Chains A and B, each alone.
Chain A
């Protein structure tokens, strides 16, 4: 293969890896927005907490990969559900701005609380034996394969849950109409908590994978990754689950291409400019539908 094609393939592979991590986090943003029309700005920090759970499980409990992943997902899900119960639920009837501000505050709280407990960056021990294959110049590591396929698997699982199970049906019903669905006997509070827990669990999984791919973690790692995932959700059309996945892969691709051809410091600039332009031109994203405002 020629040099150019190899280079492109390699970058595409990196984009796929980054995109799948973004996608897992973006799903949490989009599910919460779909069901409550609220932006959960603390979600990126749940991802960070997930990475720290992974560190705890791998270092202090010495667990192998699969139990670590499961424990991290459960831990992050609990954190997500707890945040919802303690902070967002009392504000459900308050002005929407209150919920956004609370979410911002909670995010900062999680960051600084983790910082107070763990002042120095932590190293994650390698949980998996990393094999690198060379395929005609394109190097492919087993870790990349695991990240991409595990993310895709979780996404399909989520898609199945949302579209094929009673819980998912209840979620879709609540996002459709909040007045009458409770009257039909749907336990709205429970379903909302479950939504938060599922979103947070996926973020926990993303935290584990991110920690394995980039093994130094610190309490502020969730800020940028969280915003990027949020941009992905907006690009795909916030509230739309399949849109979030598509948006994440688009953003991952754009970011990798920017770093491949420009200085890497331009990455955030391009990502946020993309967000700004998109909101002005097509605020409902790629798969979203425009909402008309009734007077």
Chain B
């Protein structure tokens, strides 16, 4: 019976109409939810954060998971995208044209971030491992420091009053676009090059993989997506400052990558969703709302305590979660495994064989 079900499930996944249908339903929902207020505003906001975090996680997984490098610069690329797009919508583009030109601003943010990605990509030709981690860290700090020292873009005070242009349909669109791009990249010729770099860079160079070009493309694609996420983030939060994009933001994304599992797009989506939802659940206001929902069980002092302290303890739980995942759950939710739906049809059998070998992480 279960074999029959499994066959039916596999058959369903092989249908070519499945993905377009799901996407259409998703897009319809993305338009309908804000239009008819099917979910309350707060949950809509959380959905948008989940989308942005999926973009960040999937794109960081390309470098940290599939390629096996260790980049800490993701928040830096995000900052570049955010500042570029925010400056465009606030100082360059005419107000009337916002709805039309907003995607252009987001795209420009991504492109500028991709160009800056070269600063990290070029040293990575020669340098690997710990030292590359240091370079990416230095890059992040330099981005932050440069922004702090330019008065025109607000310096350390940041840019307040950005228009709220990020909507649920746009987040849905960019999330799907990112997942689509990275999935296609990973399963392309270059994607195999990326995997071979992770396993052994020198050997793959000898096997005539053009490692420089592969790294180049991977870093640029990753930082492009980070820039897009940053642009969306800026127009959702409506306020950006260098402090928003510090090492803690990168750590957030790292947690999502490793919680979901490296080298897995499905894992990144799950990890980003689970982590964002968990962090929102631990917000004092959410927790109090939940507790008030169960009035018989709870005493007022507990509510008081939560209002006063949970905001801080939440920040204690976050890094602890990262450490615990690394210690006890190194594969994460889906480390090096993948939903069948994300694997191209031609690769499905091969992929199954690879993963039954019980690969090391």
Binding site for B on A (CB under 8 A): 37, 39, 87, 90-91, 94-98, 100-102, 104-109, 112-113, 115-116, 119, 223, 227, 234, 263, 265-266, 268-269, 272-273, 275-276, 279-280, 283, 293, 295
A105-B326, A272-B142 given; 13 more Cβ-contact pairs under 8 Å: A94-B326, A98-B330, A100-B130, A105-B323, A108-B318, A119-B312, A265-B148, A268-B144, A268-B145, A272-B141, A279-B131, A280-B123, A280-B127
B327 touches A (CB below 8 Å) = yes
Tell whether B320 is near chain A: CB-to-CB under 8 Å.
Answer: yes
Which secondary structure dominates where chain A touches chain B?
A: helix
**Contact mask B255-270 → A, CB, 8 Å, 1/0?**
1001000000000000
| Closest chain B residue to A266, Cβ basis | B149
Q: How large is the interface on B (under 10, 10 to 19, 20 to 34, 35 or more residues)?
A: 35 or more
**Does B25 make an interface contact (CB < 8 A)?**
no
| Pairwise interchain contact B326-A102, C-beta atoms closer than 8 A | yes
Can you name 24 A-B residue pairings with CB atoms under 8 Å? A91-B326, A91-B327, A94-B326, A97-B68, A100-B130, A101-B70, A101-B326, A102-B322, A105-B319, A105-B320, A105-B323, A105-B326, A107-B319, A108-B251, A112-B312, A112-B319, A113-B316, A115-B315, A116-B309, A234-B134, A268-B145, A269-B142, A269-B149, A283-B131
Q: Which of A87, A112, A276 contacts B139 (CB 8 A)?
A: A276
For A283, list chain B residues within 8 Å (CB).
127, 131
A279 touches B123 (CB 8 A): yes
Per the bound structure, the CA–CA distance linking A37 and B131 in Å amounts to 11
Closest to A104 in B: B251
Bits for B117-147, please: 1 = Cβ < 8 Å to A, else 0: 0000001001101110111011101101110
* Docked-complex contact A101 and B258, CB < 8 angstroms: yes
Who on chain A is nearest to B123 by CB? A280
Asked whether A106 and B148 contact (CB < 8 A) given A98-B330, A116-B313, A280-B127, the answer is: no
Q: How many A-B residue pairs have CB under 8 A?
A: 116
B-side interface residues toward A, CB under 8 Å? 64, 68, 70, 123, 126-127, 129-131, 133-135, 137-139, 141-142, 144-146, 148-149, 156, 202-203, 247-248, 251, 254-255, 258, 309, 312-313, 315-316, 318-320, 322-323, 326-327, 330, 361
* Given A91-B327, A105-B322, A96-B130 contact (CB < 8 Å): yes
Q: Within the complex, which residue of B129, B135, B148, B312 is in contact with A116, where a contact is CB–CB below 8 Å?
A: B312
Task: Determine if A279 and B326 form an interchain contact, defined as CB atoms under 8 angstroms apart.
Answer: no
Once the chains bind, are A269 and B146 in contact (CB under 8 Å)? yes
**Residues B134 and A275 in contact, CB atoms below 8 Å apart:** yes
> What A residues does B248 contact at CB under 8 A?
108
Closest to A234 in B: B134
- Cα A83 to Cα B208 with chains together (Å): 43
Check B312 against A276 for contact (C-beta < 8 Å). no
Residue pair B323, A102 in contact (C-beta under 8 Å): yes
- Complex-state Cα separation, A27 to B126, whole angstroms: 27
Query: How distant is B228 from chain A, measured CB to nearest CB, in Å?
Result: 25
Given contacts A100-B70, A104-B254, contact A276 B327 (CB under 8 A): no
Residue of A95, A223, A276 ringed by the most chain B CB atoms within 10 A: A276
Chain B residues near A97 (CB-CB < 8 A):
64, 68, 70
How near does chain B come to A250, taking the closest CB pair, in angstroms?
Answer: 17
CB distance from B266 to the nearest CB of A (A): 21
- B320 close to A279 (CB less than 8 A): no
Q: A276 vs B330: C-alpha distance in the bound complex, in angstroms?
A: 30
Interface centre among B248, B255, B315, B323 (most CB of A within 10 A): B323
Pick the 7 closest A-B CB pairs, nearest first.
Answer: A108-B319, A105-B322, A269-B145, A109-B319, A112-B315, A105-B323, A105-B319
Q: B130 touching A109 by the CB < 8 A rule?
A: no
Q: Which residues of B contact A234 (CB under 8 A)?
A: 134
Residue of A105, A272, A279 ringed by the most chain B CB atoms within 10 A: A105
- Residue of A whose beta carbon sits closest to that of B64: A97
Q: With the chains together, A90 CA to B145 CA distance in Å?
A: 36
Q: Is B316 within 8 A of A109, CB to CB?
A: yes
What residues of chain A lie closer than 8 Å to B138, measured between beta carbons? Answer: 272-273, 275-276, 279
How far apart are B242's CB and chain A's nearest CB, in angstroms? 11
Residues of A within 8 Å of B126, CB to CB, are 280
Which of these, A95, A105, A109, A265, contacts B149 with CB under 8 Å? Answer: A265
